[in-house]
Structure 1
Amino acid sequence: MQELIFGLIGGTALLMYGVDMMGEGLEKASGDMMKKILTVLTGRVWSAFLVGTFVTALVQSSTAVTVLTVGFVNAGLMKLPQAVGIIYGANIGTTITAQLMAFSFRFKLTDIALPVIGLGFAIAYFGRKKMKYIGNAIMGFGMMFLGLKILNSGVPLMQQSPLLREFFEKYASNPILGIVLGAVATAMVHSSTATVGLVMILGQAGLLDLRSAVCIMLGDNIGTCITAQVASLSGNISARRTAWAHTLYNVIGVILAAIMLPLFLKSIVAFTDSFNPGGGLAAQIANSHTLFNVFSAVVFLPFTKQYVRFLEVLIRSKEDEDEDTSKYLDRLLLDTPAAAIKAVASELARVIEIGRRMLDEVMRAFHENDEKLLEKARKDEETLNTLQREVTMYIVDLSKHALSDKQSQAVPAMISGINNAERIGDHALSIVSLAEMKIEGGFVFSQEALSDLKKMHGVIESMFELTIDSLRRTDGSHIKEVEALENRLDEMSREVQAGHARRLEEGRCTLEAGLIFLDVVNYLERIADHIFKACLSGTVMAEATHNGR
């Protein structure tokens, strides 16, 4: 019994570690390529589905791909329909490892586990850069096979254990309990592949028949959702919808498969007999894993639009969602600098949008003598200060990661961008004080003066719009237009001040009102300067995301 327990513990540990090491090695070897493929080639649901399948087959971790997808959606780099397509594909791509395990049982590939580990170690030890990661992936591959070999060597002992036989006859033979068992086991180990490997071993020992093994496999697909759910807890509404898209997709698929279990089992046997005759129970279990996920994708793909609408209705955004916290910054993206920089650009656009709203409230209050609008503007300025600190800390954390030359140059540009956005709020707050002086002092501005302020505000509105659009797209496309508007505003400022001097000479403006007017003009000019500088920061960020090297 002691030998069996030690073998199970050691074999399972090696299997889990091998699967994890292989996935991590493949993911790092792929570098930014995986992230770029996910964000660039997922325009339509079908292309997202194919990309999800390919990328997950490459890195062999549906959990990693799904969690990364949650991060991309949270950062505004991907829309929900594309994320759902990736999830469909990721579930299929991750089944390749199970197929390799089944293949190893039939052709005794577990016997070459030690040479494979040795080969991987040599590549990792002597290789450079990406070759080290490839070596680690090969070592993980070998450890996975070694774990299976150790577990397989315990099959005779498992067959002799009445305790194990009684446990699986009591629990796994019941479809519902089998599904629960698979879900709990996978949630604990965070790897459906490792759980499927264990199910194959138990099948080899005769402790599980095909029906029981399939039920546990179905549960695996539910248990694997827990990591994405945890990752979405700190995310925005889109990230939570993505995590629930993954969970409900798997749960609904499991329910459908459980309802049609007899037909599903016949399909597995027929498929295995046709494409892998003599593969045995291990091949049937691997095929059940693949067929289930293909079946789920076939059912859901035609109805993706309806599924997305359902998720939007089911998981509604909270009206009182805290605006003082970042919406797009996700710590999951820090290991993917290009994506993290795009997230900062999206957050910077949001901060500038709040500054835009604040200035609009101030200028309306100035024209309408509405003190309630001034109070709203003060709250917006507090929000800007809070967000500036949060975004700055995120940028500092990003700077501690491995960055390319272009990405390193983007760090001071990002800090400059968020500081300029915050300064917009500071100058708008100064106009709040001037508006209060105007209202409390009962000062009346001439129609010409009010018209001049409206024209200047109109130019600034155009600058806001172009800068926000440029940051959201992270392409620096509007920098020349924003610069032209900023120069135009400088000219307007000189013309407006000259016009004010004439009105003052003609006695059409009081000295007190004139001083307030000139200060407002001065602050509007400064706001325009900061908008242009923020837009300029966006061009550096765009270069860092499009030319990572």
Structure 2
Amino acid sequence: MAPGTSMIVELLGGVALLLWGVRMVRTAVMRGWGERLGSFIEQRLSSRMTAFGGGVAVTALLGSSTAMALIVAGLAGNGAIGGPTGLAVLLGADVGSALVSGIFASGSSAAAGLAPLFLFAGYVTFGASTEFRPRNIGRLLMGLGFMLLALKGIVGATAPLREAALFHEVLGSVTGEPVLGFLLGAGLAWACHSTLAVVLLVASLLLNGSLEIAGALPVVLGVNFGGGLPAVAATLDQPAVARRLPLSNLACRGTLALVLLGLTPLLVRAADQLPLAPVHVAAVLHVAFNIFCAVVFLPLSGRVGALVSQVLPDPPHRVDQLSVPRYLDTAALSSPPAALSNAAVETVRMSELLERMFATAFDALDTHRLEGLKEIEATDDRIGHYLRSVHGYLAQLSRARLSPDEGRRSLEIMLFASHLEHAGDVIKHSLADRIRAKVRLDVEFTPAPREAIAQLHAVTAESLRLIPAAVASNDVGAAARLARQKDLFRRIEDKIVSDHLGNTAEALGTSLRKSALFIDIVRDLHRINSHIASASYPSIQAAGLLYDSRIRKL
């Protein structure tokens, strides 16, 4: 392989290893402490300064302002954080990320020697641990080791560039054209999705003498602008309220970067007077840029947010079709069949709300992200409103003369609506609490319990999908299938519990807490499915398909 090709391959490999190390660190922190970091930020939203400090602290651990921007965008989308406070968090995140980059860049040659130690410690910690958090500590250490090892490789790969005449001509053009250097830095930051990676690359070029400070400063300014682009792109599919904060942050960084780009000659002369090596000057500029950006725009965060709100206004308000009952027409009370049909339709709509609650709960169980559980309380309140409305509507209908069949149908609808409300209460007051406990206690189920919960989830979800035909259409076949779902659930549940409790290693060998939590989740699913299956009983009983008892006669 030609020397030039070999150098490019080594450089690309070093950058890839660096990005992978950054990803491992971010993944470890988010998996191990993501919920606590989110709570930490939420607890510091009382003022802009505390929000700024929270952003600095959390991002110093994450090592990625983009990850922090996505967390804050999620909080904004849920209404947990306002524009000025959210921008303060992101400005702090920029400072935290810059501090990490500056520390790595300025101490790169000394820190690179620690790479083998971090890798070994991380491997041992990860391999020897079975608990969730220690394994993430191992992942974190290995990520740091990969970053330091990559930095050492990048410095070594770029060392021959010091003698390459063509490369010096290219860098000379960057030095003479600050705008070109700015665009190069922004493009690299966008392509790598990491300001840390690009700052360390620039540091390695400065360290081996391949790049001068006059060419590095515009690149660093471009990096600070381009570092805000990934968060903007990642939130394009989110609501406007969530997209505003990354865009506000990009506007602040871009404005300051362009102003300083026009002052590049002055900055270069000032940098030449500093008693620092070029690599340290670049690190200081990177950190100083973000601190100065926070100093300038923290007091102006309200105005910046207002301007961005004009660029990204809220879309026309879209009413949730399930927000309130729609078909309880009082004019239909004079026609009992029509009124009963209306009430049945609303119970089906109640089941759609319950299905939404159920999906939200299991999304939190799978992703360990608890933000969505806040929606469960609001949805359960809606189900309660539906229940009161349906009961009130049928109470009015009962004042009319109803035939025996109509009276029985009215009672069936009322009872089933109550069952749906009880199922919602199980999700809100029990299942959601189990999920919170699982996440906050860092309980990680082994594959067998995860597969068991997935099976029961699938059966319950299918039961929910059978409700419209069983209730609104009064379809005996659909009702029979719904009743069989309960039998299927019971058979799967009995086998799961028997296998789990019969396996000492599974039930007791890891943790009694895990075993108890698993059984509690299974029991909650049993209660939810039983309430749903109650919709089938009136139809199959009327058709003579329901046994009086499942107990065999003695």
TM-score range, shorter chain: 0.5 to 0.7
Matched pairs, number: 428
Aligned residue runs from structure 1 range 337-416, under 5 A: 354=323, 356=324, 358=325, 392-401=358-367
Aligned mates of 1:419, 1:295 — CA distance in 2 = 47
Counterpart-to-counterpart distance in 1, 2:73 and 2:357: 20
Q: Partners of 1:46 and 1:541 in 2: how far apart?
A: 37
| Mapping of residues 427-446 of structure 1, within 5 Å | none
Aligned Cα RMSD in Å?
4.5
SS at match of 1:400: helix
Alpha carbons of structure 1 residues 364 and 386: separation in structure 2 relative to 1, 3 Å: same
Whether 2:278 is the aligned partner of 1:288: answer no
Structure 2 residue 296 is matched with structure 1 residue 299: yes
* Deviations 1:307-361, CA, capped at 9 Å, x for gaps: 222222221112165856xxxxxxxxxxxxxxxxxxxxxxxxxx5xx1x3x45x9
The whole-number CA distance in structure 1 between the counterparts of 2:388 and 2:218 is 64
Checking the alignment, whether the CA contact within 8 Å between 1:416 and 1:537 is kept in structure 2 is no
**Aligned pair in 2 of structure 1 residues 296, 236: CA closer, same or farther (>3 Å)?**
same
Q: 1:51 to 1:365 in 2, by over 3 A?
A: farther
The answer to whether residue 195 in structure 2 is matched with residue 229 in structure 1 is no
C-alpha deviation, 1:8, in angstroms:
1.3
Counterpart pick for 1:318 among 311, 315, 318: 315
* Counterpart in the other structure of 1:160: 163
Q: Distance in 2 between matches of 1:245 and 1:521?
A: 56
The residue number in structure 1 matching 2:258 is 255
Task: Report the Cα offset of residue 190 of structure 1.
Answer: 1.0
Give me the identity figure in percent. 21
Bigger mean CA offset, 146-155 vs 313-322: 313-322
Q: 1:97 aligned to 2:100?
A: yes
Query: Residue type of the partner of 1:308?
Result: G
C-alpha separation between the residues in 1 aligned to 2:36 and 2:52? 17
- Does residue 116 of structure 1 match 2:125? no
* Structure 1 pair 423–172 and aligned structure 2 pair: CA distance change class (3 A): farther
Residue equivalent to 1:79: 82
2:135 counterpart residue number: 132
**Where do residues 256-275 of structure 1 align in structure 2 (5 Å cutoff)?**
256-265=259-268, 273=274
Offset from partner CA, 1:25-74 (integer Å, 9 cap, x none): 34444343212102222222221111000111122111111111112222
Deviation at 1:20, TM superposition (A): 2.5
Gap regions ≥5 residues in structure 2: 334-342, 442-554
- Tell me the CA shift for residue 363 of structure 1: 6.6
Higher deviation after alignment, 85-94 or 31-40: 31-40
After superposition, the C-alpha distances for 1:459-482 in whole angstroms (9 at most, x for unaligned) are xxxxxxxxxxxxxxxxxxxxxxxx
The whole-number CA distance in structure 2 between the counterparts of 1:315 and 1:52 is: 24
Give, as a single letter, the amino acid of the residue that structure 1 aligns with 2:142: M
Determine the structure 2 residue equivalent to 1:210. Answer: 213
Q: Kindly tell me: are residues 525 and 416 of structure 1, through their superposed partners in 2, closer, same or farther at Cα, counting changes over 3 Å?
A: farther
Give the equivalent residue in structure 2 for 1:199.
202
What is aligned with 1:23? 26
Give 2:245's aligned residue.
242
Q: Alpha-carbon deviation of 1:263?
A: 4.6
Deviation at 1:163, TM superposition (A): 2.8
The aligned runs of 1:474-493 (5 Å cut-off) are none
Aligned 8 A contact 1:155 1:204 in 2: no
In structure 2, give the amino acid aligned to 1:45: R
Shift of 1:531: 6.7
Give the residue type in structure 2 aligned to 1:305. G
Distance 1:25 1:416, change over 3 A: closer
Work out the CA distance in 2 between the residues paired with 1:424 and 1:283: 63
Which structure 1 residue ranges, 5 or more long, are not aligned? 325-350, 368-376, 432-452, 458-489, 501-509
1:81 CA drift (Å): 2.6
| Distance in 2 of aligned mates of 1:173 and 1:383 | 67
Aligned match of 2:193:
190
The counterpart of 1:11, out of the listed 9, 14, 32, is 14
The answer to whether the 8 A contact 1:45-1:85 is kept is yes
Which deviates more from structure 2 when the two are superposed, residues 243-252 or residues 48-57?
Answer: 243-252
- For each residue in 1:259-283, what CA deviation from the matched residue of structure 2 results, as whole angstroms up to 9, or x when unmatched? 343454456566xx4xxx54x1111
Match of 1:150 among 153, 165, 185: 153
Q: 2:306 aligns with which of 309, 323, 332?
A: 309
